[in-house]
Amino acid sequence: MNKKYPNELKVWKGMEVKDAIQEFSKAGFCARGLGEAHYVWKKMLEDKECVKILSAAGALVPGGMRNVFTTAIKTKLIDVLVLTTGSILDHDLIEAFGVRHEQGEVNVNDVELAKKNINRIYDVYLPNQGYILLEKKLREIFPKLPQEELSPSQFLYELGKNVEDKDSILRVCAEMKVPIFDAGITDSITGFHTWMYSQDHKLKLNPQLDIRDFLELVWKRKRYGLIILGGGLPKHFVAGMMQVTGNSLNYAIQITMSRPEYGGVSGAPLREAKSWKKVAADALTADVVCDATIAFPLLVASLL
Amino acid sequence: MNKKYPNELKVWKGMEVKDAIQEFSKAGFCARGLGEAHYVWKKMLEDKECVKILSAAGALVPGGMRNVFTTAIKTKLIDVLVLTTGSILDHDLIEAFGVRHEQGEVNVNDVELAKKNINRIYDVYLPNQGYILLEKKLREIFPKLPQEELSPSQFLYELGKNVEDKDSILRVCAEMKVPIFDAGITDSITGFHTWMYSQDHKLKLNPQLDIRDFLELVWKRKRYGLIILGGGLPKHFVAGMMQVTGNSLNYAIQITMSRPEYGGVSGAPLREAKSWKKVAADALTADVVCDATIAFPLLVASLL
Amino acid sequence: MNKKYPNELKVWKGMEVKDAIQEFSKAGFCARGLGEAHYVWKKMLEDKECVKILSAAGALVPGGMRNVFTTAIKTKLIDVLVLTTGSILDHDLIEAFGVRHEQGEVNVNDVELAKKNINRIYDVYLPNQGYILLEKKLREIFPKLPQEELSPSQFLYELGKNVEDKDSILRVCAEMKVPIFDAGITDSITGFHTWMYSQDHKLKLNPQLDIRDFLELVWKRKRYGLIILGGGLPKHFVAGMMQVTGNSLNYAIQITMSRPEYGGVSGAPLREAKSWKKVAADALTADVVCDATIAFPLLVASLL
Amino acid sequence: MNKKYPNELKVWKGMEVKDAIQEFSKAGFCARGLGEAHYVWKKMLEDKECVKILSAAGALVPGGMRNVFTTAIKTKLIDVLVLTTGSILDHDLIEAFGVRHEQGEVNVNDVELAKKNINRIYDVYLPNQGYILLEKKLREIFPKLPQEELSPSQFLYELGKNVEDKDSILRVCAEMKVPIFDAGITDSITGFHTWMYSQDHKLKLNPQLDIRDFLELVWKRKRYGLIILGGGLPKHFVAGMMQVTGNSLNYAIQITMSRPEYGGVSGAPLREAKSWKKVAADALTADVVCDATIAFPLLVASLL
């Protein structure tokens, strides 16, 4: 990208999100990263050989991102979803089964909330009833799934087909044939109930098999793009799969509030991954330091 | 504000910034704060008795916010500007005098940049020539100013009238009669050159006099709204003036990436200021954890 | 803990780490959290019914924490280790097999590092040779392990017994009978090579089985203490196991630089977990906002 | 400094703070910065031509750092103090006049605190009575001060001589002839009351005169060392004085939790200041990402 002059950034009445994001690419600091992310994602969309992977960590469904995910999937902004633990899985299913997350307060007495069976996620409340319903509904669905050993991606595809709620991320992924990988599914309530069910049924979940399924995907494609929301295990998983297969990401966008100084994978800027060859030396990259609840909807809206 | 359901947040093609900000108010986490900031600022605009103060710390001109400031001032989104040090002052004047900030790189050899006389501010470059020009032009303007002891707000008004660049924040403030307070002006290059000039001229700058001028403003008005960009001294100054006069802010919006755990004023959430009565118990407030280069243009665009 | 006066905090010549930590408990801000963490961990050690779990995310071995881990394990400051992915696993084995992490630079050309086969983790370098050696040595050890389906904790115990390096975390854990749980082991290079090996051998790794093994541990004990380094999946795993068994943590210490505002589990303060009943209403807790490479060695040194 | 191996970092029973800090210099991530800060400060102490300046922003007295400051001043670890606003000034005087900061809670109802006249600073409470006492005592002291125009450094020296409390930072500075600069004193309660008093007395405070006094200090010395706590205006002031006099810092240590991505001076790493020549190309520097309430006492204790 060519040098730009921050003083040329403008705002105006009736400005569209797409314009704002493009203006940001003239700015400095965090706005610039967001503008560059738009550019990198657009280049990814133009590259017909590129598989576009979205990795997501964190409680993004409670944060309000459900429709942003399904919109991005339906409009083919992404081809593959990589999750961590149950952060998105459990919350999407709870919503699908009818219990809604709602706005709450941060500065609250958590022991009092506990007495009311309300679980808090920063400023969002989730009635604990949601977990009781999750168990009940999963137990109804499990018998309909293939009674055999499944990888998380196979399992989540089969599960998605059995979710009725049309706004469910799992269902939309199943419909759009967007695979969902989740190497950390063991650490989720869905993972727990699947294990419980597998004690006396043939349905088994084996997270190791997502290596097999993900490698198959890697080998079928030539170019790779990754949009990272929040870092964590799913970022590491995709990057690690690049490392073990000798491939590199050709495009990468990272949206995170984590910082690099304590050496964690979530906050490591994308250029660090170039030393590992997980990101190609000539890859187009954008580091966005902004909460995903702000940056992700703006990016998706700007690319529709 | 009433309880909302994060899952109702939507994105669509052709979405305007105004719509996005309003959708954010349904979300959780950082997006919600941004949506609430829009609401609080709108209420401030509807309250005809309220003086709307914008306090700004940090290198927001290099960050590309110059047009956002002047647009907000021209459209009367704010009535008063409170600056810290020379962060905005020096950079606005340097641009006004013809040296532009430009996009640079973060991961660069700073000693090499120094050899090329390029000053770096994160990912923005400022040719050191800008400071040489700043001194030269200020020395041309100083004789045109009143040769007497001035408060920073008087000084900056007089200075603004003598700036030719129509895009200058100082000039637009002078034209719109928006006073600029700067209790920390001593810590700026403009402050330094003013002191040098005052050694053998009657023009003197006395930062203490901004107390007088700011109190006059406080006493004339009944209700107070503050939009805080980045925290720091200007946030503290406005809040401190409330404290010593027994007044309280009726509206407050804080946009910062600082965090509260180390006890600094920049990261302290607005509710902390309620214990000090600097913010009224029933004030409308919004805490936005997001870089101002993203949040400020979105808010201004959404309110035009 | 009783109210204290920050002005009573003192420093002196020859001060021991133990004294410093205790002085911190009189302070405010981040120091106070560190002082309280010492107090909570000490109470945990005095409670003979309490199982002391350490969960660790992040590249703590490259960060220099290897001896701190083994010292804490050998002196029984902890009973159980819960890891995420391969962050500690892979790095511990690489060191055990003879390739050392070394201090590097942050502001470096990562593409040049890649050409020299040096992987960077913030300011630490790891020769890529470490990963080649890791594969080679694991292939030598795998035939010595039980050729059957193993949980990660069983697998890591067996692996630890076969590590020669006396300074290895895995070996010390095996010797001290400190189980290592790792529900996200699939996302590690060790996990990958185990999967490769399992293609034509009977040794299989099934992360879901760590649910079984961890539940067994939970059911055997009555009281639970957790020290969290960095948050992430291992924090969530332990808390989730409390949730599904209807238990609660009686003691909890969290050491992290993550912040709560974006709704991630890593940055959520411990009181949030009280709303979920994952942490008991009357639990002793301490939230430490400090990098684990500073806080963890100070805490361990103060408790020896 | 030579390359080191993080795995050589050790902890032991009875470890002194000095040992811990030196072990940290072998680590990676944030611990390494703290170890390097010890090394740089030690080199500064060995350099007899170097003036050692400590700049401090933030509420470090409520945070419990009062004795750490006075110990560092009495043992000549620093020669000059540069403050911002009233953060340290007002709080030191309030303690000197008999009102103590005390440990409080973060998750509290701030409106209820306001009713009890308790001001909150994160997890520290300050009875509002402290401010009433501050006004009363200052009014008693003002007539004893020279009735003329004073720079902040002259004013604070005279004020310090009139403080009875032997633990006062202001008094210890006066006794040790350690000048205190405060270009932002206008933004403090002490600054406000001085202005009020000056309305009908000859005592006047002119912050611009700290430029004169600081330049005198710069011209008398050849080499400069700066320890920065928290960034902000005082960091910028010292660096700015270097810029305008064509000097550079030969040693610099920065202790802050601010991050660089939003372009603020507080979070900018020291190498950025090399592009400005505010820090010499060959300066010894250390960036510490840690709250000052942890890092500052450890550093001072390690250097006694």
Q: pLDDT tens digits for chain D (304 residues)?
A: 567 999 999 999 999 999 999 999 999 999 999 999 999 999 999 999 999 999 999 899 999 999 999 999 999 999 999 997 777 999 999 999 999 999 999 999 999 999 999 999 999 999 999 999 999 999 999 999 999 999 999 999 999 999 999 999 999 999 999 999 999 999 999 999 999 999 999 999 999 999 999 999 999 999 999 999 998 888 999 999 999 999 999 999 999 999 999 999 999 999 999 999 999 999 999 999 999 999 999 999 999 9
Q: Do A34 and B100 touch (CB under 8 A)?
A: no
Contacts of C119 by beta carbon, 8 Å cutoff, 6+ apart: A275, A276, C113, C125, C126, C127, C128, C130, C131
Asked whether residue A84 carries a pLDDT value surpassing 80, the answer given is no
Chain B positions touching A301 (Cβ under 8 A) are 11-13, 15, 20
Q: Which chains, if any, share at least 3 CB pairs under 8 A with chain D?
A: A, B, C
Q: Span B287-302, mean pLDDT?
A: 98
Quote the minimal CA–CA distance from A75 to chain C in Å: 26
The CATH class given to the A13-88+151-186+203-303 domain equals alpha beta
Active site residue A202: no
Nearest CB neighbour to A30, from listed D33, D109, D262: D262
Q: Do D29 and A263 touch (CB under 8 A)?
A: yes
**pLDDT per position as a tens digit, A261-292:** 999 999 999 999 999 999 999 999 999 999 99
Asked whether residue B85 carries a pLDDT value surpassing 80, the answer given is no
Name residues 106-145 of chain A within 8 A of C (Cβ).
106, 110-111, 113-114, 118-124, 128, 131
Chain B positions touching D291 (Cβ under 8 A) are 261-262
CB of C191 within 8 Å of any CB in chain A?
Answer: yes
Can you tell me whether residue D155 is helix, strand or coil? helix
CB of C262 within 8 Å of any CB in chain B?
Answer: yes
Contact in structure between C182 and C143 (CB atoms under 8 Å): no
CB of D301 within 8 Å of any CB in chain C?
Answer: yes
Q: What is d(CA C112, CA C116) in angstroms, rounded to the nearest whole number?
A: 7
First to last CA, chain C: 22
Contact in structure between A260 and A268 (CB atoms under 8 Å): yes
Provide the β-strand partners of residue D289: D256
**pLDDT per position as a tens digit, B201-236:** 999 999 999 999 999 999 999 999 999 999 888 899
pLDDT number for residue B231: 83
Contacts of A135 by beta carbon, 8 Å cutoff, 6+ apart: A189, A193
Quote the minimal CA–CA distance from C247 to chain D in Å: 25
Q: Do B275 and D63 touch (CB under 8 A)?
A: no
Asked whether residue C87 carries a pLDDT value surpassing 90, the answer given is no
Which residue has better confidence, D85 or A211? A211
- What is each CA distance from B26 to A17, A126, A304, B150, C100, in whole angstroms? 18, 15, 21, 48, 50
CB of D28 within 8 Å of any CB in chain A?
Answer: yes
Nearest to A174 by CA among A153, A195, A191: A153
Q: Which bin fits B15, alpha (ψ -120 to 50), beta or left (φ > 0)?
A: beta
Got the DSSP string for A137-189?
Answer: HHHHHGGGS-SSEE-HHHHHHHHHHT---TT-HHHHHHHHT--EE-TTTTSSH
Q: Do A30 and B291 touch (CB under 8 A)?
A: yes
Got the DSSP string for B16-70?
Answer: BHHHHHHHHTTS-HHHHHHHHHHHHHHHHHH-TTEEEEEEE-S-TTTTT-HHHHH
Asked whether residue C2 carries a pLDDT value surpassing 70, the answer given is no
Catalytic residues of C: 278
Name the pLDDT band for C289 (thresholds 50, 70, 90): very high
pLDDT more than 70, % of chain B: 99
**Would you state the structure tokens that stand for residue C224, as one six-digit string?**
């639970």
Q: Do C243 and A122 touch (CB under 8 A)?
A: no
What count of CB pairs under 8 Å joins B to C?
A: 26
Burial B93-124 (b: 16+ CB within 10 A, else e): bbbbbebebbbbebebebeebbeebbbbbbbb
**pLDDT per position as a tens digit, D72-105:** 999 999 999 999 777 799 999 999 999 999 999 9
Nearest CB neighbour to B261, from listed C108, C263, C289: C289
Nearest to B163 by CA among B145, B146, B183, B178: B145
Contact in structure between C271 and C246 (CB atoms under 8 Å): no
CB of A149 within 8 Å of any CB in chain C?
Answer: no
Q: Do C244 and A189 touch (CB under 8 A)?
A: yes
Contacts of D303 by beta carbon, 8 Å cutoff, 6+ apart: D38, D41, D42, D45, D77
Asked whether residue B87 carries a pLDDT value surpassing 80, the answer given is no
Q: Do A257 and C260 touch (CB under 8 A)?
A: no
Name the pLDDT band for B2 (thresholds 50, 70, 90): low
Q: What is d(CA B284, CA A132) in angstroms, rounded to the nearest whole number?
A: 37
Q: What is d(CA D204, CA D151) in angstroms, rounded to the nearest whole number?
A: 9
The CATH class given to the C34-88+148-303 domain equals alpha beta
**Would you state the structure tokens that stand for residue C265, as one six-digit string?**
């589990």
CB of C219 within 8 Å of any CB in chain B?
Answer: no
In degrees, to the nearest 5, what angle opens at C-alpha C75 toward C-alphas C74 and C78? 85
CB of D29 within 8 Å of any CB in chain A?
Answer: yes
* Element at D252 (helix H, strand E): strand D249-256
Name the pLDDT band for C188 (thresholds 50, 70, 90): very high
* CA closest to C100 among chain D residues: D5
Contact in structure between B13 and A302 (CB atoms under 8 Å): no
Amino acid at A296: F
CB of A22 within 8 Å of any CB in chain C?
Answer: no
Chain C positions touching B30 (Cβ under 8 A) are 261-262
Q: What is d(CA A87, CA C61) in angstroms, rounded to the nearest whole number?
A: 27
Name residues 271-300 of chain C within 8 A of D (Cβ).
271, 289-291, 293-295, 297-298, 300
In degrees, to the nearest 5, what angle opens at C-alpha C106 toward C-alphas C100 and C108? 100
Among A111, A272, A275, the strongest candidate for a mutation testing the C interface, having the largest count of C CBs within 10 A, is A275
Q: Do C263 and A122 touch (CB under 8 A)?
A: yes
- What is each CA distance from D10 to A263, C80, C256, C300, D21, in whole angstroms? 19, 21, 21, 11, 11
Handedness of CA C162, C166, C172, C175 (dihedral sign): positive
Quote the minimal CA–CA distance from C82 to chain A in Å: 12
CATH label, B13-23+30-89+149-303, candidates 3.40.50.1860, 3.30.70.270, 1.20.1050.10, 3.40.910.10: 3.40.910.10
Can you tell me whether residue A249 is helix, strand or coil? strand
pLDDT number for residue D2: 66
Q: Which chains, if any, share at least 3 CB pairs under 8 A with chain B?
A: A, C, D
CB of C29 within 8 Å of any CB in chain B?
Answer: yes
With a cut of 0.90, is the ipTM above it? yes
CB of B258 within 8 Å of any CB in chain A?
Answer: no
CB of A88 within 8 Å of any CB in chain C?
Answer: no
Amino acid at A271: R
pLDDT number for residue A2: 67
**pLDDT per position as a tens digit, C118-129:** 999 999 999 999
Q: Do A186 and C188 touch (CB under 8 A)?
A: no
Burial class (CB in 10 A: 0-12, 13-18, 19+), A135: middle
CB of B264 within 8 Å of any CB in chain D?
Answer: yes
Helix H segments across chain C?
17-24, 29-46, 66-74, 89-96, 110-115, 129-141, 152-161, 169-175, 189-198, 209-220, 232-245, 270-275, 292-303
Among D256, D261, D294, the strongest candidate for a mutation testing the A interface, having the largest count of A CBs within 10 A, is D261
**Would you state the structure tokens that stand for residue A277, as one six-digit string?**
């060859």
The residue ranges of every structural domain in chain C are 34-88+148-303
Among C2, C3, C7, C91, the strongest candidate for a mutation testing the D interface, having the largest count of D CBs within 10 A, is C7
* CA closest to A197 among chain C residues: C208
Query: Residue B198 — φ and ψ, nearest 5°?
Result: -70, -10
In degrees, to the nearest 5, what angle opens at C-alpha D80 toward C-alphas D77 and D85? 120
Contacts of A200 by beta carbon, 8 Å cutoff, 6+ apart: none
Provide the β-strand partners of residue A252: A226, A285
Q: Do B30 and C289 touch (CB under 8 A)?
A: no
CB of D29 within 8 Å of any CB in chain B?
Answer: no
Looking at residue D81, the DSSP 8-state letter turns out to be: E
